[in-house]
Amino acid sequence: MLTPHYTTSFNNLQPNDRTMKHLLHALPAFLLIFLSTPNASAQCTNTNATSCVCPDGSDECDLLPDMTISWYALLNYLSGPNESSGRINVTGSTPNIGHGPLEVRGTDLNGYRRFVCGVDTFAVYDPNAQQQFACPNGGTAKQLTTQRIFHKNGSTMTSYERLMPQGMTYHPTHGHTHYDQWGVYSLRVQEPGVSDPRDWPIVNSGYKLGFCLMDYNTCSDGAVEHHCKDDNTVVNAGTTLHGSDFPNFGLGGGNYGCSMLRQGISSGYTDIYSEYLDGMWIDIPSGACNGDYWIVYEVDPLDVVVEEDDTNNWTAVPITLTQQPGSSPVAAIHCDEQAFVCPSGQVRLQASAGVSYLWSNGATTSSIMADPGTYTVQVTSYCGTATSAPFTVTGLAQAPAPTADGAVVCEGGSAVLTTTAANAVWYDATDNQVGTGPQFITPSLYASTTYSVVDVETSPGQVSYGGKSDNSGGGGYHVGGQYLKFDAHRSFRLNSVKLYAGSAGYRTIELVDAIGVMRATRSANVPAGESRMDLDFDILPGDNYLLTVSGTTDLWRSTGGTSYPYDIGGVATITTASSGTGYYYYFYDWEVEEGAGSCVSPATTVSVDVEICTGIDEPLALRGFEVQPNPSNGQFSVSLHVLSNSDVQLDLTDMMGRSVVKERILAPAGQLVHSMDVTGAAAGMYNLTLRIDGRVFQRRVVVQ
């Protein structure tokens, strides 16, 4: 629902600051709110485009930002990056070298703020962003924020707003929103033959869970000289840019700050997050030793910002580690999906980071594509050489090619095709799926054709249960805002969890990874009392996942009887709760599954021969009836081949049988192509009926 002017849960805001809040939430759509503003004197400002320049030199364009990340700041700001035992601290300077500002708004240009509580959206008229918001039924609120995009049309400056699919999180305690997942940085080992540093093996990663975007310095400021470059992706390269190098320098105002109303980075400005701030580090695992590495830093890695260039949001700089205590060499194999494949399938296996690799199949790259079988890898790092434990890629069962007989039918007739396949799927000659089951009845046919059929064999997985089994041990129903934290040791599917609800209603459960990205979400109507909620979350290996509730919670929280860690079938471990190991939040008796999958048999071709039959009915004038293209945008052609002058009637109906268009054609003998246009019709499936010589033929038509 959408509820305007919702104000009953507001309090006074706290003063602004630059602290962060975690969790990144995917949001689905686009919001366009256009605003025209009057002309001022000839200049380039938020209200006047007279002197503004378009990237291509034209007189009309969107003036977009172009966000980069400075290699110079990463190497030099505060003498960084600074290393200690087990950690590297880094600084991120993010120059905007585009023709327009990056402006993110918590309040849209019509004065509304929008919040999501589970499955409900609330629109709040709050033009000055002066109030706090709380979900009316408890739980965590997310704020929908927009990117304001400036548009030049001659001297007129307008703007429109686009709802950001991800990026900002409401933080009522600190009185503003935070940009989640703004920066991700990783320690990597260079791999010979691989040119893009973003593809090199990762030792470990860090992330800035939330940013406040602001105009921290101009590119002309001597304190940040050399931060702004026309190319920041290559270390020790690129031309330094100053204010005069930006044709629309300062567009945005140069006064963006950390507020709920608007944040951003003006054209020709940079924002800096220094290495002494929370989260600006990469933890170095105990298995890493002193040696030569690289730091790869990406800004806006999920491309949630619309900008001029999405390919230059990263940089890579070398670093030599000297402060690490040393370790025995480590070798391990990782797989970012369940290692269960069909006989013809493969999965990607990744070795732990090193300077060279030797796999049991002879490969010498950091990763391989693996068929079913067992593999090991020998990894040489700065600590020495080690060999991994065996890693098995399991082959799933596959049915043999099914048997099926062809058919002969009269022109205009339908063939009945049968197969021995237990779980048959049928395809036409162009590989479109046309049916399932042991029997398939073709549409009316006018020419010989072929079909194919396959058998699908499904293998059940290994199901395990874990976590706190029930809500015994004390506790009560909780308003929300808390979570369980867990590590995934292998890929698996979280099928379901047990809930204890204080009231019936929709609950929204979210899976969030270690860097704040929401990986899965599911909403369902949950009854009061004990029940299971199906989730079907596919989870990749990784540490520090969060399982939480958005919006209405009112779910049982245990305050006693907890015993961390909780093993779940060997595939995952629940390590703690957001408030510590004395609590257990919401999600009991996890049901996990590993190893399920389906394999498709080789295909069997089935031929259908069409003959011209006589002596049964009067000869049919129709020899062909085709629709092209299909699917279409509503404009398509009907191809007919008739043997004599014929009266043809066409009737397009929707799936409810309602007529969309009727047409009558006096078709001359020969080939005829007749155009039809239903571009005003809703997207979906339709039936096209052709009537000729007292007989009826049909084709399915798909409008996209």
**17: confidence class by pLDDT, cuts 50, 70, 90:** very low
Q: Is residue 442, in this structure, part of any structural domain at all?
A: no
Encoded tokens for 344: 């013809």
Same domain flag for 651 and 681: yes
Same domain flag for 589 and 624: no
**28: confidence class by pLDDT, cuts 50, 70, 90:** very low
d(CA 69, CA 296): 10
Q: Is residue 581, in this structure, part of any structural domain at all?
A: yes
**38: confidence class by pLDDT, cuts 50, 70, 90:** very low
pLDDT, mean of residues 365-387: 96
Considering 562, 595, 628, which residue would you say is the last residue of a domain?
A: 595
Q: What integer pLDDT is reported at residue 174 of this predicted model? A: 60
d(CA 431, CA 127): 55
Same domain flag for 159 and 300: yes
Encoded tokens for 264: 């951003």
**41: confidence class by pLDDT, cuts 50, 70, 90:** very low
Same domain flag for 314 and 337: no
d(CA 668, CA 584): 78
d(CA 176, CA 22): 13
Same domain flag for 260 and 119: yes
Q: What integer pLDDT is reported at residue 228 of this predicted model? A: 97
Q: What integer pLDDT is reported at residue 175 of this predicted model? A: 59
Same domain flag for 495 and 548: yes
**32: confidence class by pLDDT, cuts 50, 70, 90:** very low
**576: confidence class by pLDDT, cuts 50, 70, 90:** very high
d(CA 498, CA 516): 25
**11: confidence class by pLDDT, cuts 50, 70, 90:** very low
Q: Is residue 666, in this structure, part of any structural domain at all?
A: yes
Q: Of 3 and 287, which is predicted with more confidence?
A: 287
Beta-bridge partner residues of 566:
574
**615: confidence class by pLDDT, cuts 50, 70, 90:** very low
Our CA angle for 160, 164, 170, nearest 5°, is 115
d(CA 686, CA 704): 11
What range does the domain containing 558 cover?
Answer: 462-595
Q: Is residue 684, in this structure, part of any structural domain at all?
A: yes
**587: confidence class by pLDDT, cuts 50, 70, 90:** very high
Q: What integer pLDDT is reported at residue 37 of this predicted model? A: 35
Considering 270, 287, 321, which residue would you say is the last residue of a domain?
A: 321
Residue 34 predicted with pLDDT over 50: no
Q: What integer pLDDT is reported at residue 80 of this predicted model? A: 86
pLDDT digits (tens, 9 = 90+) for 247-285: 999 999 999 988 888 999 999 999 999 999 888 999 998
Average pLDDT in the chain? 88
Beta-bridge partner residues of 485:
546, 576
Same domain flag for 659 and 691: yes
Q: What integer pLDDT is reported at residue 623 of this predicted model? A: 64
Tell me how far CA of residue 436 lies from CA of 400, 453, 456, 528, 677, in angstroms.
17, 9, 10, 39, 32
Residue 135 predicted with pLDDT over 80: yes
pLDDT digits (tens, 9 = 90+) for 184-238: 999 999 999 999 999 999 999 988 766 689 999 999 999 899 999 999 999 999 9
d(CA 355, CA 382): 7
- Asked if residue 176 lies in contact with residue 260, where contact means CB atoms within 8 angstroms, the answer is yes
**505: confidence class by pLDDT, cuts 50, 70, 90:** very high
The position carrying tokens 């327009």 is 100
- Asked if residue 571 lies in contact with residue 335, where contact means CB atoms within 8 angstroms, the answer is no
Q: What is the CATH number of the domain that holds 629?
A: 2.60.40.1930
Q: What integer pLDDT is reported at residue 413 of this predicted model? A: 83
Same domain flag for 338 and 257: no
- Of 49-63, 127-141, 152-166, 350-364, the poorest mean pLDDT is in 127-141
Tell me how far CA of residue 603 lies from CA of 416, 568, 606, 665, in angstroms.
18, 39, 10, 41
Q: Is residue 423, in this structure, part of any structural domain at all?
A: no
Considering 348, 374, 395, which residue would you say is the last residue of a domain?
A: 395
- Asked if residue 405 lies in contact with residue 605, where contact means CB atoms within 8 angstroms, the answer is no
Exposed / middle / buried, residue 309 (Cβ in 10 Å: 0-12, 13-18, 19+): middle
Q: Of 586 and 627, which is predicted with more confidence?
A: 586
Residue 165 predicted with pLDDT over 80: no
Task: Count up the domains in the chain and report the number.
Answer: 4
pLDDT, mean of residues 58-75: 97
Q: Is residue 140, in this structure, part of any structural domain at all?
A: yes
Q: What integer pLDDT is reported at residue 171 of this predicted model? A: 65
Tell me how far CA of residue 213 lies from CA of 105, 259, 270, 353, 458, in angstroms.
11, 9, 9, 34, 50
Encoded tokens for 443: 């549409």
- Of 34-48, 334-348, 645-659, the poorest mean pLDDT is in 34-48
Q: What integer pLDDT is reported at residue 31 of this predicted model? A: 38
Our CA angle for 213, 104, 68, nearest 5°, is 55
Q: Is residue 610, in this structure, part of any structural domain at all?
A: no
Beta-bridge partner residues of 522:
509
Residue 381 predicted with pLDDT over 80: yes
Q: What integer pLDDT is reported at residue 409 of this predicted model? A: 81
Same domain flag for 317 and 339: no
Same domain flag for 148 and 96: yes
Exposed / middle / buried, residue 212 (Cβ in 10 Å: 0-12, 13-18, 19+): buried
| This prediction's pTM | 0.77
Residue 454 predicted with pLDDT over 90: yes
Q: What integer pLDDT is reported at residue 30 of this predicted model? A: 34
Query: To the nearest whole percent, how much of the chain has pLDDT over 90?
Result: 65
Query: What order do you get walking across the sheet with 622-628 strand by strand?
Result: 622-628, 635-642, 670-677
The amino acid occupying position 131 is: Q
Q: What is the CATH number of the domain that holds 524?
A: 2.60.120
Q: Is residue 136, in this structure, part of any structural domain at all?
A: yes
Q: What are phi and psi of 332, to 5 degrees?
A: -150, 160
pLDDT, mean of residues 146-171: 86
Same domain flag for 354 and 307: no
Residue 48 predicted with pLDDT over 80: yes
Beta-bridge partner residues of 427:
433, 452
**621: confidence class by pLDDT, cuts 50, 70, 90:** low
Same domain flag for 367 and 292: no
